[in-house]
Amino acid sequence: MSDSPTNTLSSWVEVTKNSDFTIHNLPFGIFQNKKLSPRIGIAIGDKIVDLSILDQEGFFADMFLPGGVFLSGSLNDMIGLGKVITKKIRERVQDLLLVDNEKLRDHSARGKVMLHRKEATMLMPVKIGDYTDFYSSKEHATNVGKMFRDPENALLPNWKHLPVGYHGRASSIIPSGVPITRPKGQTKDPDGAPVFGPSKKLDFELELAFITGKSTKLGDSVSTADAEDYIFGFVLFNDWSARDIQAWEYVPLGPFLGKSFGSSISPWVVTLEALERFKVESPVQEPEVLDYLKCEKSHSFDINLEAHIQPENEKSSKVCTSNFKNMYWNVAQQLAHHTVNGCNINVGDMMASGTISGQEPDSFGSMLELSWNGENAVKLESGTERRFIEDGDTVIMKGFAEKNGIRVGFGEVKTTVLSAK
Amino acid sequence: MSDSPTNTLSSWVEVTKNSDFTIHNLPFGIFQNKKLSPRIGIAIGDKIVDLSILDQEGFFADMFLPGGVFLSGSLNDMIGLGKVITKKIRERVQDLLLVDNEKLRDHSARGKVMLHRKEATMLMPVKIGDYTDFYSSKEHATNVGKMFRDPENALLPNWKHLPVGYHGRASSIIPSGVPITRPKGQTKDPDGAPVFGPSKKLDFELELAFITGKSTKLGDSVSTADAEDYIFGFVLFNDWSARDIQAWEYVPLGPFLGKSFGSSISPWVVTLEALERFKVESPVQEPEVLDYLKCEKSHSFDINLEAHIQPENEKSSKVCTSNFKNMYWNVAQQLAHHTVNGCNINVGDMMASGTISGQEPDSFGSMLELSWNGENAVKLESGTERRFIEDGDTVIMKGFAEKNGIRVGFGEVKTTVLSAK
């Protein structure tokens, strides 16, 4: 039985109806607990498959993997084995989890191989080399342009010709669950004088990021046709932003301290293979793009995205419903553009989409857009209002794809904001 | 005998009059050759001291260093031992090299410990985590502002209030000697239409970069008073730039592909300790800066900098003479600003100064400024003219400090430009 677009598979592991971690997903992550050192696991339902134990028990013996490749604090070395191998690893686990396969189901080591996700702490899935953030949602770029530049010419002249992006700070990317501290910094007060203090306009940005799975040499480029060979998988990405710090610092060299205090990601890396069945046509690009940005195939994905705010001691409210298919520039174009000048990429680089906004006001992927730079309060279910993110708030992002009864999701990235030090 | 500002030391190793690598310098680097795997060395005169052999021979026995710390492909682990230890290592080597010290001079292993620099290939000195480029020369920022924005208001409003900087690409930083390929990319042709092809405005930028020597936790900041504890040393930095690609892409998120095709560094890391005696007063900052950017002491250095162009089959010509003391924002202010929002730094991060230009036209640190964006040809000694950098050209940057007969230099960063692929 194989995982084709028309087949719905089922597993001997219980997977509830709305679980993101179906047998069609099987994302990779790094986990640990008090007894277990950091290692690679695959999520299914409420469980984690400990690949290191599976390997010790001989389930990968015919694949001749490097010893201890799953006993690692990051996915980098495993990803570096190449897509042919990582696909085989994931397919092997999928096969072992199929409802009729007794090899693991009835194996004496099953109890050691499988643990409950609640018993594990998720760590950063990769050691990130370089991190890039794109700006690929037309709706987001238009909204920002309307607010801060010219409402009549919101998109800058280059925007439809190339996927605008910038280098971000890799060191401060943290996994879901790690709190973030409100940044302090320099802003301009209403009189125009620079002042120092905690940011008053702390914001989230709802994004997805891909993790590169293959390196290039300096001087080489990746075509749009080959780009997917270089993409291992995706995570949810909350690109925390301090709008007031950013507004004062960003001319002419771009965002710096307004972003570098932290970005949060979901810990389970959903592979490109798991998302394949959710591909949809990319938006029409007009004017026509230059040859190196043209695509033969689609590289857009129908992935539902949500952002929720949970004030301290209150329940959570959804404030945004968006979709990854809204992106004007797709991941193949982003990677082709990034490398067209010969810039080399390494396994474990992270490239985020930029805020993913749709056309409807409730699909805007940041408080900047939802509150229109603080002009309009966003009402939460509890009646509480928010213009930006307050101390004690928890921001939760979720993402999932669903088609023909098959669901593949990202889990969540959940981050509580602590007051400034 | 100790290395105080008033003492001139001499060594039993021959050091010629204009050598950058005096006994007062002793920079660290990573070298290898056909027989020797990558390892840490210290340069003196035309020689390298192989620290791994020195360690094997017991010269650091009393320091209880981790086994094999010098047998590494990067300085990171050694730097990570902390400044107390790395200072002791350098002082031990300085002591052993003193003219009257017979311990190494007359040791049977001396031949194994010392090798000629010509017999070694220099590699990247550090595995760079994140790379940041500042924009800290007032003259450079003013020149660029005059050319591309408003000649009457060349400096943007934020420039004198904070050290403007941006995140750069770490993966494409290469050591001296590795050629660079002319980047291709998207530019705007004179009619305003986007076109694709090799950059027509390839440029160098004359910079110095510091390497961080101590990590911080996310959320923590470094004060200007403590900043030097976090700086291990400096290298020359050539921030290659494709002006035409940069001009089209950089609004609103800053430089991206116009820079990320490569940056070149000198391979010997000159320690902060070696540069201490060359400190000079920092320029007066008017208007007064915010408290977190104020400095009790000086963190500016009198370091002569030069850029040379050597066209293929021609001799080399000096095109720029500048000085690191020209920087408006000093390294302590850069680091305090970078971390004031809680952004964490790691051992081996690289922070470059931005182009270091002086007030005189021959002190401008880029062809953009020297040729005033191609308006005026720069005449080389051979009679050849340059507006930007041509294929086959080699760009050489040098840097040295000199005071009371004591010289401490950086050697060079030398890079040949290959034609676009």
| CB nearest B156 (choices: A174, A242, A252) | A252
The backbone torsions φ and ψ at residue A95, rounded to the nearest 5 degrees and listed phi first, read -60, -45
Tell whether the model's pLDDT for residue A6 goes beyond 70: no
Assign B149 a pLDDT band (cuts: 50, 70, 90): confident
Nearest to B161 among A135, A194, A253 (CB): A194
Tell me: pLDDT of B4 over 80.
no
Q: Which amino acid is at A140?
A: H
Which band of pLDDT confidence, cut at 50, 70 and 90, is reported for residue B6? low
Q: Does residue A2 carry a pLDDT above 80? A: no
What ipTM goes with this model? Answer: 0.97
| CATH number for the segment(s) B131-418 | 3.90.850.10
Digit-coded pLDDT (tens) for A37-92: 999 999 999 999 999 999 999 999 999 999 999 999 999 999 999 999 999 999 99
Chain B residues within an 8 Å CB radius of A251: 156, 158, 252
Tell me: pLDDT of A360 over 70: yes
A334-352: per-residue pLDDT in tens?
999 999 999 999 999 999 9
Q: What is the DSSP string of A257-270?
A: TTTTT-EEE-SSBE
**For testing contact with chain B, the best of A140, A174, A261, A341 (most B CBs within 10 A):** A341
The pLDDT tens digits of the residues spanning B164-175 come to 999 999 999 999
Rounded Cα–Cα distance for residues B100 and B113 (Å): 18
Model confidence at A174: pLDDT above 60: yes
| Whole-angstrom distance, CA of residue B297 vs CA of residue A22 | 60
Confidence at residue A9, expressed as pLDDT on a 0 to 100 scale: 93
Q: Residue B121 pairs with which residues in a beta bridge?
A: B32
Per-residue pLDDT at B1: 47
Instruction: Compute CA distances A140 → A358, A365, B301, whole Å.
Output: 8, 8, 44
pLDDT, tens digit (0-9, with 9 covering 90-100), for B302-333: 999 999 999 999 999 999 999 999 899 999 99
**Least Cα separation, residue A257 to chain B (angstroms):** 6
- How far the first Cα of chain B sits from its last, in Å, is 55
pTM value > 0.95 = yes
pLDDT at A3: 60
Cβ neighbours of A189 in B, within 8 Å: none
Min Cα separation A338/chain B (Å):
7
* A369 is an annotated ligand-binding site residue: no
Percent of chain B scoring above 90 in pLDDT? 96
Q: Which amino acid is at B207?
A: E
Cα-based angle A417, A319, A18 (whole degrees, multiple of 5): 95
- Catalytic status, residue A338: no
pLDDT in tens, B19-50: 999 999 999 999 999 999 999 999 999 999 99
pLDDT for position B123: 98
Spatial neighbors of B133 by CB under 8 A, at least 6 apart, are B165, B166, B168, B207, B239, B259, B351, B352, B354
pLDDT at res. A103? 98
Contact present, B308 and B319 (Cβ < 8 Å): yes
Structure token pair of residue B78: 């050694």
Q: Which of B140, B299, B337, B338 is catalytic?
A: B140
Instruction: State whether B253 and A291 contact (CB < 8 Å).
Output: no
- Once rounded to an integer, what is the mean pLDDT over residues A329-335? 98
Instruction: Count CB atoms within 10 A of the CB of residue B35.
Output: 7
- Alpha carbons A365 and A242: distance in angstroms, whole number: 15
Q: What is the mean pLDDT of residues A260-280?
A: 98
Out of B249, B342, B349, name the one closest to residue A181 (CB).
B342
Chain pair A-B, CB pairs under 8 angstroms: 186
Q: A167, A182, A248: which to substitute to probe chain B, counting the most B Cβ within 10 Å?
A: A167
Average pLDDT over residues A294-308: 98
**Nearest C-alpha neighbor of B48 from the set B59, B57, B40:** B40
- How many residues can be counted in chain A? 421
Q: In sequence order, what DSSP letters do the residues of B6-29 get, joined into one string?
A: TPPP-BSS---TT-S--TTT--EE
Six token digits for residue B253: 């998120």
Q: In this model, does residue A240 exceed pLDDT 70?
A: yes
pLDDT the model gives residue A1: 47
3-state secondary structure A7-27: CCCCECCCCCCCCCCCCCCCC
Q: Is the pLDDT score of A192 beyond 90? A: no
DSSP, collapsed to helix, strand or coil, labels residue A196 as strand
Convert B116-143 to b/e letters by CB count within 10 Å (16 or more is b): ebeebebbbbbbbbbbbbbbbbbbbbbb
CA geometry: angle B30, B132, B179, nearest 5 deg: 50
Classify residue B173 as exposed, middle or buried by CB count within 10 Å of its CB (0-12, 13-18, 19+).
buried
What does the pLDDT read at residue A320? 98
Say if the Cβ atoms of A242 and B341 lie within 8 Å: yes
- For the cut 50, the answer to whether the pLDDT of residue A295 exceeds it is yes
- Domains of chain B, by residue range, sit at 28-122, 131-418
The residues, ordered by sequence, that sit 6+ positions from B131 with a Cβ below 8 Å of its Cβ are B167, B168, B169, B170, B173, B263, B349, B350, B351, B352
Task: Give residue A122's pLDDT.
Answer: 98
User: What is the pLDDT at residue A293?
Assistant: 98
Q: Within 13 Å, how many C-alpha atoms sit on residue B119's CB side?
A: 14
Q: Residue B190 has what pLDDT?
A: 87
**In the β-sheet with B114-116, what is the strand arrangement from edge to edge?**
B114-116, B47-50, B39-44, B28-32, B121-122
Q: Which of B167, B248, B292 lies nearest to residue A168, judging by beta carbons? A: B167
Reported as a single tens digit per residue, the pLDDT across B123-137 is: 999 999 999 999 999
Within A250-372, where are the H helices? 272-275, 331-339, 367-370
| DSSP of B243-304 | HHHHHHH-TTT--STTTTT-EEE-SSBEEHHHHGGGEEPPPP-SSPPPGGG--SS--EE--E
Q: Element (H or E) spanning B399, and its range? A: strand B394-403
pLDDT, one tens digit per residue, over A117-128 is 999 999 999 999
Query: Stretch A14-27: mean pLDDT, rounded?
Result: 97
Q: Distance between CA atoms of B322 and B357, rounded to whole angstroms?
A: 6
Q: Nearest residue of A to residue B159 by CA position?
A: A249
User: Is the per-residue pLDDT at A301 higher than 50?
Assistant: yes
Can you identify the CATH homologous superfamily of domain A28-122? Fumarylacetoacetase, N-terminal domain (2.30.30.230)
